[in-house]
Amino acid sequence: MVSQLEQLKAFTTIVADTGDVEAIAKIKPEDATTNPSLILKAATMPEYKALVDDAIRFGKGDLSVVMDKLAVNFGIEITKIVPGYVSTEVDARLSFDTEATIAKGRSIISLYENAGIPKSRILIKIAATWEGIAAAEVLEKEGITCNLTLIFSKAQAIACADAGCTLISPFVGRIMDWYKKDQGVEGYAPAEDPGVISVTEIYNYYKKFGYKTIVMGASFRNVQEILELAGCDRLTMAPPLLAQLAASTEPVTQKLNAKGVGEMYMEYIEMSEGKFRWMMNQDPMATDKLAEGIKNFAADIVKLETIIKPKIAAYTPPKPVPMANGRMSFDRVCREWRCKFTGDKSDSVSLENISKLINTYLVQIKGVSVDTTVDRLICGDCNDFKLRISVPLEFFGPWEAKKFAPEKEILTQLRQIKGVGQVETQTITNVVL
């Protein structure tokens, strides 16, 4: 029998909502999302100590840089598992500062790109305040895709779509939480769940008026909420809920479908800042939950900073290793793979095959450490090709113990390319950065 999870995948893209890299590897979702709360939890787990240590070393005492690098380090690891988007969140304390949010989004993308992860793989996650939406509009125009989070109202959803945001995350369970407390009830039937109703209305509005922004339901309290939104563009959920769906073989019925939405009557809303603020003012649930969400994410950032600060204070950079003559030292080590192309220089196929081979292994190479740099060096006159991989000193020993994998595979395949000869390696230890 087919599990509910597999049935759901026929209607909806499944996204893992966790910072636990190992859990994501078991689930094998299309995308993954993180937030400060999830990073806080994962960063205290022993198996991710190397990611924390690397961020501290990279930050060189700057707490803000360390925090950004830590979030990106987790994201880098997740990109090795999921084929689609990975969301990384901007500091919630910037939620009402458009320019600071823009700067932070650019900085996060720069850290990813320096690690060889293209910006097309990353969603910058921003709280859906008016200021945050304005920041996302600027970033989207620069080709930086955004996930607008803490969505609790149609006003937020419409403003995000008008701004050209790639994706929004309406919070199903938190909406239900507010109404349960407000109305003094224990719960709702799935189809009557206020969070489910909110996401359904947003989905239908987007499809009715042709918006391309992706709707990704989030913050689920139970599998019934998830199943009631089968057919939504994306649904992100925690590993325990994914496990429940995987364990059940009950039939799943598609509930949301863009077909037929065109026949529904809906009023088009012309959004403006004034309209946005008025609609939020008239929606106590959305106002309360947005403020609460920002406060809670900010509080978890502070908790994580409290953990990180003493680690920064205690960190002692590794002493550069002196060379034999005592005149030079190094704190990074390079492994260089090189070859000479002695064939016909007009043979573009062989030259392209060299480049393709390198690209095939690039992600694996950069996975040697979270701070690996790769340089391609080509001498146009003599057709020498060099691939120089630089890693921090403390990571070189473990890589050497693995025989510089995937060195053997790359060199073997290089030798098989027509016109390639003199395939050699060397270790360069006088790199000072």
Domain boundary among 286, 312, 338: 312
Q: Which long-range contacts (CB under 8 A, 24 or more apart) does 326-332 make?
A: 328/430, 328/432, 329/432, 330/393, 330/429, 330/430, 330/431, 330/432, 331/392, 331/393, 331/431, 331/432, 331/433, 332/390, 332/391, 332/392, 332/393, 332/431, 332/432, 332/433
CATH of the domain at 343: 3.30.70.1150
The DSSP secondary-structure symbol of 320 reads: P
Q: What is the pLDDT of residues 273-314, one digit of tens each?
A: 999 999 999 999 999 999 999 999 999 999 999 999 999 999
- Is the domain of 216 the same as that of 339? no
Q: Mean pLDDT of all residues in the chain? A: 90
Tell me the pLDDT band of 13, cut-offs 50, 70 and 90: very high
Residue 125 designated active-site: yes
User: Would the pLDDT of 187 be above 60?
Assistant: yes
Tell me the pLDDT band of 433, cut-offs 50, 70 and 90: very low
- Is the domain of 84 the same as that of 164? yes
- Is the domain of 20 the same as that of 118? yes
**Bridge partners, residue 167, by sequence:** 147, 214
Q: What is the pLDDT of residues 370-426, one digit of tens each?
A: 678 888 887 766 778 888 888 887 778 778 888 888 889 989 998 999 888 889 888
Tally of structural domains, the chain:
2
* 197 within 8 A of 185, measured Cβ to Cβ: no
- Point out the catalytic residue in the list 104, 125, 207, 366: 125
- Is the domain of 296 the same as that of 151? yes
The DSSP secondary-structure symbol of 377 reads: E
Nearest to 269 by CA among 161, 165, 168: 161
d(CA 136, CA 95): 11
- Is the domain of 89 the same as that of 200? yes
pLDDT of residue 320: 62
- Is the domain of 272 the same as that of 149? yes
> Burial, 405: exposed, middle or buried (Cβ in 10 Å; 0-12, 13-18, 19+)?
middle
Cα 165 to chain centroid distance, Å, stands at 16
Q: What is the pLDDT of residues 95-142, one digit of tens each?
A: 999 999 999 999 999 999 988 899 999 999 999 999 999 999 999 999
Tell me the pLDDT band of 427, cut-offs 50, 70 and 90: confident
d(CA 76, CA 72): 6
- Is the domain of 296 the same as that of 192? yes
For residue 387, give its domain range.
321-431
**Residues 6 or more apart in contact with residue 275 via CB below 8 angstroms:** 155, 269
- Is the domain of 212 the same as that of 344? no
Domain boundary among 294, 312, 330: 312
Domain boundary among 312, 347, 367: 312
Q: What is the pLDDT of residues 233-272, one digit of tens each?
A: 999 999 999 999 999 999 999 999 999 898 899 999 999 9
Phi and psi dihedrals of 424, rounded to 5? -140, 165
State percent of the chain over pLDDT 70.
95
- Mind giving me the DSSP string for 28-54? --SEEE--HHHHHHHHTSGGGHHHHHH
Average pLDDT over residues 324-353: 75
- Is the domain of 302 the same as that of 359? no
User: Would the pLDDT of 90 be above 90?
Assistant: yes
Q: Which residues of 85-109 are buried (b: 16+ CB within 10 A; e: fewer)?
A: bbbbbbbbebbebbebbbebbeebb
Considering the entire predicted model, what is its pTM?
Answer: 0.78
**Bridge partners, residue 89, by sequence:** 125
- Is the domain of 308 the same as that of 325? no
CATH of the domain at 264: 3.20.20.70
**Residues 6 or more apart in contact with residue 346 via CB below 8 angstroms:** none
**Residues 6 or more apart in contact with residue 330 via CB below 8 angstroms:** 320, 321, 323, 393, 429, 430, 431, 432
pLDDT of residue 50: 87
- Is the domain of 17 the same as that of 109? yes
Phi and psi dihedrals of 321, rounded to 5? -85, 125
pLDDT of residue 194: 98
- Is the domain of 111 the same as that of 221? yes
